Amino acid sequence: MTQERISSVLSEERRFPPSKAFSASAHVGSERERKALVGQADADVVAFWEERAKELAWFSPWKKPLVWKYPHAKWFVGGTTNLAMNCLDRHLGSARRNKAAIIWESEAGEERTYTYYQLHREVCKAANMLLSLGVSTGDVVAIYMGMVPEATIAMLACARIGATHNVVFGGFSSEALRERINDSKAKVLITQDGVMRRGEVVELKLAADAALQKCKTIKHAIVLRHTGDNVPMKSRRDIWWHERMADASAEHEPLALDAEHPLFILYTSGSTGKPKGILHTTGGYMTQVAYTTKVVFDLRDDDVYFCTADIGWITGHSYVVYGPLLNGATIMMYEGAPNWPNPDRFWDIIERHGVTIFYTAPTAIRSFMKWGDHWPEQHDLSSLRLLGTVGEPINPEAWMWYHNTIGGGRCPIVDTWWQTETGAIMVSPLPGATTTTPGTATKPLPGIKVDVVHKDGTSCKANEGGLLVVQHPWPSMLRTVFGDDERYRKTYWSDYPKSRQHPGWYFTGDGARKDKSGNIWIIGRVDDVVNVSGHRLGTAEIESALVSHPAVAEAAVVARPDAIKGNALVAFVTIKALPKNTKRSVLAEQLRVHVAKEIGPIARPDDIRFAEALPKTRSGKIMRRLLREIVTGAATTGDTTTLEDAAVLERLR
C-alpha cells in the first residue's frame, strides 16, 4: 500500500426506503430504532454483545466478557456452552420441536424433511458414531461432502462432542483435500460416494482415496451412500455411514465446552503460498451469527429460508447451518446446479416450497440476468419477502434487476459485507429500518466499529477512497491462522498495529469509501486497485460501469504496465449476446465510450478482451490475480486450488 488515495468514481442516486408494511412487523422497524441500538453499542460495545449472548443457552456464565491482548481476543471467558445444543436441544421444549428444520431437495427431485426433533436424533447418533471411532474433544474431523443433510448433521455432531470440523468444499480436487487434511492434522474424514452435478456423478470417494494415500493422520473414513455407485472400501479404514449409524444410540448429552473452544477451521486461499486455515471458536461466533441472522434477515417462525451457498464456504457455515438453526428457522437446502435441468431451477424451488427469504451471490445474479427474464417470469415468486446478496460487491444494475425481476419491486435487499475471517456479517442494511441504495452494503451493524481510513490511520472524508478497517474486536472474529500465528499477525494486523491512539485495527484488505450519508461502498480488494496517470482507481467500479451496458453479462478489470500512464486498464468481458449487425471491434469501442460516459475518461479501458468465461473460484469469485498474470505474461503462481475450471485459463491465454 502507498500513501496515495484511492479514487472513487462511481455515482448512484437511487434510494429505496423500506415499506411501511415491512417495517411494521420487523425486528428493527425504523431508523430511530437502529440508531438507538447503535447508540447502545457505542456507549459500551462489550456490554452490547453480552446482552446478545444472554439470549442463548450457557452451562455456566462467563467471568469476563472480553480479554484483548493484541492481536488476540477471547470472548465470554470462563463461560461454557455448546453450539449444537443451542441449535437443537434448546428448541425441543417449544413449538419448534416438530417444525421443519431442513427441507432438502436433490438435483433429481428427491425430497427429504427433518424436523428439529428428527435432526436432533440424527445428530446424537452421529456424535455417538464419532465417539465409537475414538474421536475425542479437540480432535479435527475433515468433512468432504456435497449439499446433503448429512453434511449438516456431521458438522453439528462435531460441535456436540467438541471435535473441530474442517469442511472442505466437495468440488475441490484430491490434492486440495490432501493439503487441508494434512495441515489440520485431521483424525477422521467424513465423505460420500458421490454427488450429482448437472446430471453427472462427481466421485468424491475416489478423490478422497487419492488424497488419503498421503495423509498419515487419518484413522477412519466414514462414507455416506448417496448416489449408490460402487466405490472401493479399504478394510479397517473405511466405514459405511448407514451401517455405523444403525448401531448408534440416539441418546447423547452435549458436552459443556469453553467459550473459546475451537469450533472449526476453514481454509481460504492466499494470493501466494498455501491456503490459510482460519480458526473460529465457539461462544463469540455463536453469539454474532445468531444475532446477525435474526436482524439482517428479519427471521420469523413461519419463514422458509434459502441460502444458495455450499456448506464448504463460510456463508454455508454461518448462514446455511448455524445462524438459521440457532434461530429455529426452516432451511431450504438444494444439492444441484441452478441451471439444471433448466435455468429456472431456483425459481421453481422458491415457488414449490414457498421460500420467503433468498440469499445468493452477485455472480449468480448476473448469470440469472444472462439466462433471461423469461425463466423467472414463468414462476410465482410472490412468497418472497426479503432478498440478500453475499460474496462480493453487487453492481447497481444487477441490484436493480434482482429488485424488480425477482423481488417484484416489493422485497428489501440486504447487501451484506463480511469475510471468512470475520465469521459473521459486519456491514448490512437492517431491512425494516435502512433506506438502501443499489451497490452499497450501507452501514456497520450495531456493535461493529468499521471505518474508512488513509494509510496513516486518519479517517477519510465523504466520498474519499481509502482502506476499510475494523477498529474494535468483535465476537465472531478469527482467532488465528491455524498453525501459523505469525501469518495471522502479518496478514491482518501489521498495517495498523496497536498504538496510543487505538488498540490495534484489523485491516480487511478492501478499499472503500463512505458517502455523505455514512454508507460504505466497497471499491474492491486493495490488490485490485490500479494506478492510472496518478489516479488510484478501484476496478470494481469500472466493472460495474461495464456491466451496466445492456450487452454485458460480466466483467473483470486488471492492469498491465504502461510506459506513459504507469498502468493501462484491460477489461475481460463476457457478453449476453452480440448485438445484431455489430462487430466485436465496434462493441469494444462502444464499451470504452460507455465507461467514459458513466465514470469519466480516466477510467476508459485501454483494451477490451471478450471471453466465453472468466476464471472463478468454486464459490463464484473472479480470480483477478490470474488475469493480471495473463495480461503481463507472467507465469501462474500462488494457490490455484480454488479455481473452478482450469481450462478457462488456457483459453484466455
Query: In the 3-class helix/strand/coil scheme, how is 466-503 assigned residue by residue?
Result: EEEEECCCCCCCCCEECCCHHHHHHHHHCCCCCCCCCC
Closest CA to 86 of 329, 322, 332, 425: 322
Within 8 A by CB and 6+ apart from 425, the residues are 292, 296, 416, 417, 418, 445
Number of H helices, E strands in the chain: 21, 31
Q: In what order do the strands lie in the sheet with 357-360?
A: 111-115, 100-105, 330-334, 304-307, 357-360, 386-389, 413-415
Go through the domains of the chain in sequence order and give each one's CATH number: 18-43+289-436 (3.40.50.980), 529-652 (3.30.300.30)
**Residue 644: predicted pLDDT:** 62
**Whole-angstrom distance, CA of residue 39 vs CA of residue 447:** 9
Residue with cell 441500538: 37
Q: Chain centroid to CA 128: how far?
A: 30
Angle at 105 between CA 100 and CA 110, to 5 degrees: 110
**Whole-angstrom distance, CA of residue 79 vs CA of residue 66:** 11
Give how far Cα 570 sits from Cα of 23, 313, 437, 651, Å: 44, 30, 28, 17
**Residue 536: predicted pLDDT:** 58
φ/ψ of 167, rounded to 5, equals -85, 125
Contact predicate 294/287, CB 8 Å: no
**Residue 635: predicted pLDDT:** 67
Closest CA to 42 of 450, 414, 432, 502: 450
**Whole-angstrom distance, CA of residue 343 vs CA of residue 341:** 7
Contact predicate 557/532, CB 8 Å: no
In the chain, how long is the greatest CA-to-CA distance?
A: 72
3 state SS of 110 = coil
Retrieve residue 298's grid coordinates.
Answer: 428479519
Closest CA to 576 of 608, 592, 552: 552
pLDDT averaged over 10-residue windows placed end to end, the chain, 653 residues: 51 90 97 98 98 98 98 98 98 97 96 98 98 97 98 98 96 88 97 93 95 96 96 97 97 98 88 78 98 98 97 96 98 95 97 98 90 97 98 90 97 97 98 96 98 95 94 98 96 93 93 94 77 65 86 90 77 88 90 83 87 79 83 68 64 73
Q: What are the E-state strand segments in 128-275? A: 140-143, 164-167, 188-192, 195-197, 200-202, 220-224, 238-240, 257-258, 262-268
**Residue 643: predicted pLDDT:** 62
Query: Cis peptide before 71, with omega less than 30 degrees from 0?
Result: yes
Contact predicate 627/652, CB 8 Å: yes
**Whole-angstrom distance, CA of residue 442 vs CA of residue 417:** 9
- State the CB neighbour count (10 A cutoff) for residue 410: 13
3 state SS of 593 = helix
**Residue 165: predicted pLDDT:** 98
**Residue 47: predicted pLDDT:** 98
Contact predicate 262/295, CB 8 Å: no
DSSP state of 592: H
Give the containing element (helix H, strand E) for 260: none
Within 8 A by CB and 6+ apart from 89, the residues are 57, 120, 254
Contact predicate 275/483, CB 8 Å: no
**Whole-angstrom distance, CA of residue 578 vs CA of residue 551:** 7
Contact predicate 531/566, CB 8 Å: yes
